[in-house]
Each structure stands twice: as structure tokens, then as C-alpha cells.
Amino acid sequence: MPSHVVTIIHPDGSEQTANVHSDIALAEMQKLVNGYIEVLALADGRVMVVNEDGLLLKLPVNAKATELFGASRRGAEQRKAGEKWVDCVVGTVVVCAGELLA
């Protein structure tokens, strides 16, 4: 079975990578993002898994993930800041090949 790289990006900008050889279970993804998951498609075929309730929970902005998603799609999650809307991704995210999601 081929190996795939999974990248975990934390709000502080730190990253962890791991090679996985099988599908990733829903429970594992939920643990990594600390809640229910939402899957965002990236233009290169990978996916970004985020906490579905991250904005409601006021999780910290993840600038590195926001840049990755914004550069990929020019449209991340939206959060109101004063009178203008700011595109942002919040919380810890997982970036992986879409086929790894079980």
C-alpha cells in the first residue's frame, strides 16, 4: 500500500508531518481538530480538514492554513471583523490526500 503524507498545521504556525499507509478514521480526524470535521477541497486535489464549529467556538486564526486555503481557492471561511469580512481558517487543521478519509 502506498504511503501518504499528512500535515497537521497548528494556529501558532507549527507543523507536524506523518506518513500514513491506510485510511484515516473519522474519530481520529475529530481528535486532531478537536471536534466535528468539515472538509475543504484544495485546488491540488488534497483536502483540508477543519473544526466545523471553529468559528463559533472562537478558535484562534490559523494564518498558515488560511494562506494555504486562500491561495488554493481564494475563499476560506469568513469571519466578521468590525464592518468588513475577513477570510480565515481557524484552529488546528489536517491537510491530506482526499482518498485517505475513511
Q: How far is residue 4's CA from residue 63's CA, in Å, rounded to a whole number?
A: 24
Q: Which DSSP state fits 62?
A: -
Mean pLDDT of 9-21: 91
Query: Region 79-101: what's the mean pLDDT?
Result: 75
Residue 43 in contact with residue 98, Cβ under 8 Å? no
By residue count, the chain amounts to 102
The stretch 90-100 carries a mean pLDDT of 92
Give the pLDDT of residue 102: 60
Q: What is the mean pLDDT of the chain?
A: 83
Which pLDDT belongs to residue 84?
Answer: 47
- Distance, CA of 101 to CA of 33 (rounded, Å): 14
The pLDDT value given to residue 24: 80
Question: pTM of the full predicted structure?
Answer: 0.81
H or E element in which residue 78 lies = strand 78-81
Q: For residue 83, what pLDDT is reported? A: 43
- What ranges in 1-102 are assigned the alpha helix state H? 26-33, 63-73
Mean pLDDT of 31-53: 92
Give the Cα separation of 93 and 29 in Å (integer).
9
